[in-house]
């Protein structure tokens, strides 16, 4: 695929993926590369600009991460962010030192003043809030650089060598806390690098289909379809590209949410592809009978999935290509060129030994999650699949606390469906990163009608998060929780109590088990 490309050179910053997402949101393709990437490899990409990320180190230390100084001789614009800014200053003859007093160190929200004559701040207000995080200080800026922004504590919040296209900011424009931060990145892309904005999902779809057809030729492709966003979009893209040459094996382990297996099957009915749904619910329930320990549940389900997939793959016969829904964060986090190997074991739980394939196809490996969803819409997948929330591989098995039975699964499916229906009706589903019901192993006394009951308590969980590394419990309005509670106890047999989990992560996890 041929696009204008920005290289995000990663120096260990916590926001490296966020920077890349911001660039792509501006309609420009980018790739994240470790700072150790040889310059020759970077030059082959023919980038229109570089962005240096932040990082936890100090540039003046002997073992600090460095970029090849020749980057600054290529005639290509560079934007340095935080550590990246200080690295540029250090490399080009400036001086960076440890801040000697608290005034020179800046963390968090900082009132900042911008020189709007600088291309980086063109068309922006002269004052705004930026998000700082630095304990080092640029005591001397390199020759040729002008000061382009300042705060009360720091005269060189941003520096610019307009002639050479080098810009540095000591704050993080990629985070939401920085006012107009994305507009600053956009200015760098379009005003400095000359971007034309040729990164769209329509174009990606067209070129991806062409690439798949060229690679596959007359071969056969096998995909393990989980029903999750990544594998579903991967299936739709492959189906458009090669049609009947694709076989999707959907292992329905009987641990999905209400109607979910049927919805997955219906979603792919319009495509000319081989869709194999394996109804293995009884088989999985048999293996899980009497098992209460969460990790053991996970291992049983993972191993059994492999066995079912192996059996179905064996029935299909010779396969040339194995397809996987690897996405770009997986590639970045692997930190190496062997992401395909890592994901081959992650996505299908281990490859069947006797499936003979030439190579792995990963048509989504350039996309972030939000871009995968965009592509799904472009391909015509229904919104309930495209916007599907994260759902654990073991499914409801880890949302039924204790042993698993068909009765418990049915109870949970109904309660969970009500929670999702009411959240969507109130528009709260758009505010929640993940939300679901859990059938606890707690039974308690209740009163329904004129009689006493002794039935299960169901717990509701809702969180908000940007990265799922940490998460806050969601402040769902009381009236929504009330509607959910009333419906569950009235419509779902064997539940007489509804709880709401108000624990953040940490100390809790998003899931219960």
pLDDT at 513 over 80: yes
pTM of the shown model: 0.72
pLDDT tens profile 317-326: 888 888 888 8
SS3 state at 433? coil
CA-CA distance, 504 to 63, in Å (whole number)? 37
CB within 8 Å of 442: residues ≥ 6 apart = 456, 457
Ramachandran angles phi, psi of 358, nearest 5°: -75, -45
Name the range with the highest mean pLDDT among 11-20, 291-300, 388-397. Answer: 291-300
Mean pLDDT of 1-8: 86
pLDDT of 456 above 90: yes
Per-residue HEC secondary structure of 253-272 comes to CCCCCCCHHHHHHHHCCCCC
Long-range (24+ apart) CB contacts under 8 A made by 163-166 are 164/72, 164/77, 165/49, 165/76, 165/77, 165/78, 165/192, 165/193, 166/72, 166/77, 166/78, 166/80, 166/88, 166/92
Phi, psi of 446 (to 5 degrees): -140, 175
Q: What is the pLDDT of residues 215-270, one digit of tens each?
A: 999 999 999 888 888 989 999 999 999 999 999 999 999 999 999 999 989 988 88
Which parts of 281-336 are beta strand (E)?
321-323
Average pLDDT, the chain: 88
CA distance 133 to 154: 13
Cα–Cα distance, 320 to 218 (Å, whole number): 9
Q: Is 90 a catalytic residue?
A: no
Please, how many CA atoms are within 13 Å of residue 198, restricted to the half-sphere of its CB?
Answer: 12
Q: Strand runs (DSSP E) across 14-171, as ranges?
A: 29-34, 49-52, 78-81, 95-98, 106-114, 127-134, 136-140, 146-151, 158-161, 166-169
Task: With CA atoms as reference, report the closest residue to 184 among 202, 163, 164, 170.
Answer: 170
- To the query of whether residue 378 is one of the catalytic residues in this protein, the response is no
Under DSSP, the state recorded for 476 is -
pLDDT of 203 = 87
Q: Quote the CA–CA distance of 160 and 187 in Å, as a whole number.
A: 13
49-52 and 78-81: which strand pairing?
parallel
Distance, CA of 42 to CA of 258 (rounded, Å): 48
Task: Map out the domains of the chain with their CATH numbers.
Answer: 5-192 (3.40.50.880), 201-386 (3.40.50.620), 405-500 (3.30.300.10)
On the question of pLDDT at 106 being above 80, the answer is: no
| Candidates 174, 179, 260, 304; catalytic one | 174
pLDDT at 372: 92
Considering only 89-103, 150-164, 268-282, 313-327, which range has the smallest mean pLDDT?
89-103
Strand partners, 80: 52, 168
Paired tokens of 292: 């209460």
Between CA 412 and CA 392 the distance in angstroms is 15
CA–CA gap between residue 369 and residue 348 (Å, rounded): 19
Marked catalytic residue, from 3, 134, 172, 253:
172
Q: Using the 8-state DSSP alphabet, how is residue 155 labeled?
A: T
The dihedrals phi and psi of 504, each to the nearest 5 degrees, come to -85, 170
Residue 63 preceded by cis peptide, ω within 30: no
Concerning whether 234 is annotated as a catalytic residue, the answer is no
Average pLDDT estimate for 147-152: 90
Helix or strand or coil: residue 59? coil
Phi then psi for residue 235, to 5 deg, are -65, -45
Give the pLDDT score at 334. 58
Which residue in 26, 82, 85, 118 is the catalytic one? Answer: 82
Helices marked H in 133-228? 181-187, 201-216
| Average pLDDT over every residue of 79-102 | 86
Q: How confident is the model at residue 485 (pLDDT cuts 50, 70, 90)?
A: very high
With beta carbons less than 8 A apart as the criterion, state whether 137 and 49 touch. Answer: no
At 168 the three-state DSSP class reads strand
Work out the pLDDT band at 393, boundaries 50, 70, 90.
Answer: confident
Contacts of 281 (CB under 8 A, 6+ apart): 252, 253, 254, 255
């Amino acid at each position: 695929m041929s696009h204008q490309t920005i290289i995000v050179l990663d120096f260990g910053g916590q926001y490296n993926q966020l920077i890349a997402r911001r660039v792509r949101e501006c309609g420009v393709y980018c790739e994240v590369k470790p700072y150790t990437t040889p310059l020759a490899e970077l030059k082959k990409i023919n980038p229109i600009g570089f962005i240096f990320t932040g990082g936890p180190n100090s540039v003046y230390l002997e073992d600090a991460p460095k970029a090849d100084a020749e980057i600054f001789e290529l005639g290509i614009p560079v934007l340095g962010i935080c550590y990246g800014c200080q690295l540029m200053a250090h490399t080009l003859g400036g001086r960076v030192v440890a801040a000697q007093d608290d005034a020179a160190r800046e963390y968090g929200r900082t009132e900042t003043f911008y020189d709007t004559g600088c291309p980086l701040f063109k068309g922006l207000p002269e004052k705004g809030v930026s998000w700082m995080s630095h304990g080092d200080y640029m005591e001397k800026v390199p020759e040729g650089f002008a000061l382009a922004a300042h705060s009360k504590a720091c005269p060189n919040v941003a520096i610019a060598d307009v002639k050479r296209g080098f810009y540095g900011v000591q704050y993080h424009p990629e985070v939401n806390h920085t006012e107009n931060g994305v507009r600053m990145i956009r200015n760098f892309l379009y005003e400095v690098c000359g971007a034309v904005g040729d990164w769209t999902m329509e174009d990606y779809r067209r070129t991806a289909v062409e690439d798949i057809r060229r690679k596959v030729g007359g071969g056969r492709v096998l995909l393990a379809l989980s029903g999750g966003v990544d594998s579903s979009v991967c299936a739709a893209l492959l189906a458009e590209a090669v049609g009947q040459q694709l076989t999707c094996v959907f292992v329905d382990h009987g641990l999905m949410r209400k109607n979910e297996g049927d919805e997955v099957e219906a979603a792919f009915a319009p495509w000319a592809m081989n869709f194999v749904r394996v109804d293995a619910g009884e088989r999985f329930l048999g293996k899980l009978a009497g098992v209460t320990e969460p990790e053991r549940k996970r291992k049983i389900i993972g191993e059994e999935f492999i066995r079912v997939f192996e059996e179905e793959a064996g029935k299909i016969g010779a396969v040339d290509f194995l397809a996987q829904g690897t996405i770009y964060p997986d590639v970045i986090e692997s930190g190496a060129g062997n992401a395909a190997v890592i994901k081959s074991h992650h996505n299908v739980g281990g490859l069947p030994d006797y499936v003979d394939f030439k190579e792995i196809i990963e048509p989504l490996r350039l996309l972030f999650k939000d871009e995968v969803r965009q592509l799904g819409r472009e391909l015509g997948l229904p919104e309930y699949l495209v916007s599907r929330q994260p759902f654990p591989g073991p499914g409801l098995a880890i949302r039924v606390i204790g042993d698993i039975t068909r009765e418990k699964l049915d109870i949970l499916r109904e309660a969970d469906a009500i929670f999702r229906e009411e959240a969507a009706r109130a528009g709260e589903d758009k505010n929640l990163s993940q939300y679901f019901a859990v059938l606890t192993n707690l039974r308690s006394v209740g009163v329904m009608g004129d009689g006493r009951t002794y039935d299960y308590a169901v717990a509701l969980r809702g969180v908000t998060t940007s990265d799922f590394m940490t998460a806050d419990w969601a402040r769902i309005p009381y009236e929504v929780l009330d509607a959910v509670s009333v419906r569950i106890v009235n419509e779902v047999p064997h539940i007489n109590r509804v709880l709401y989990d108000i624990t953040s992560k940490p100390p809790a996890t998003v899931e219960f088990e």
